[in-house]
Chains A and B, each alone.
Chain A
Amino acid sequence: SSELTQDPAVSVALGQTVNITCQGDILNKYYATWYQQKPGQAPIRVIFGQNKRPSGIPGRFSGSSSGNTAALAITGAQAEDEADYYCGSRDSTNERVVFGGGTRLTVL
């Protein structure tokens, strides 16, 4: 199966660390890509490959993977990190991209 599962919502206190997870069998084979989407905006890629950050993404964002679970960590969460986060992966046929259902992060 190429489905990806995420918790619908997660909260974190300002300045603390939060992990957002993504589960799926396909993650045993491929790294997840993580996207951040703020209300009314297009998603932006924040993590790809084996914990790579695109230019301009703060160092507090990091990625990890173990077995069928990928995680996006935000170390020292800021108010501006409040957003929806989606994981994505190629599927086993390499003819589709699949997304998780998304996690809404609230920074308290």
Chain B
Amino acid sequence: QVKLMESGGGVVQPGGSLKLSCAASGFSFRTYGMHWVRQAPGKGLEWLAFIAYHGRYKYYADSVRGRFTISRDNSGATLFLQMNSLTGADTAVYFCAKDPQGLDQATPVDVWGQGTRVTVSS
């Protein structure tokens, strides 16, 4: 059974940083691309970033490019999201999600984690 478990959320001050983790199990993590998606309170889904299975290709939404960094540890089956220069607009539930394909292309996700909440507030 595919399982994704996010951690690392919490309350952070504006301008601060936070690193999210996503522990994967139940599938061959090293052979699939992975995504981060967020959902602000009462709002819809916003795709943030994708990393290819090998980690060499990374793509970002305009809203986070230059501030957020996606990375992965295939030996530890873990996905990461380093978030810097946070503002109130970054307050959201952050989901890690699995790409259904093992390619260098970002395609609509098939499995989602339960999410971790990030609140940016002073």
A residues sitting closer than 8 Å to B (CB atoms) are 32-33, 35, 37, 41-45, 48, 54, 86, 88-90, 94-102
Contact of B61 with A42 in the complex, beta carbons under 8 Å:
no
Q: Which 10 A-B pairs have the closest CB atoms?
A: A33-B108, A94-B105, A95-B59, A88-B108, A42-B112, A102-B44, A97-B47, A99-B45, A90-B107, A101-B44
Among A44, A90, A102, the residue within 8 A (CB) of B45 is A102
Q: Give me the interface of B with A, judged by CB distance under 8 Å.
A: 35, 37, 44-47, 50, 59, 61, 95, 100, 105-115
A44 / chain B contacts, CB cutoff of 8 Å: 112
Give, as a whole number of angstroms, the nearest-CB distance from B104 to chain A: 8
- Write the nearest CB–CB distance from A108 to chain B, whole angstroms: 23
Would B114 and A42 count as touching, CB distance under 8 A?
Answer: yes
Do A45 and B44 touch (CB < 8 A)? no
Partner of B109, one of A45, A95, A102: A45
Least Cβ distance of B25 to chain A in Å?
16
Known interface pairs A44-B112, A97-B47; 16 further A-B residue pairs with C-beta atoms within 8 A, sorted by A's residue number:
A42-B95, A42-B112, A42-B114, A42-B115, A45-B111, A94-B105, A94-B107, A95-B59, A95-B105, A96-B47, A96-B59, A96-B61, A97-B37, A97-B107, A99-B45, A99-B47
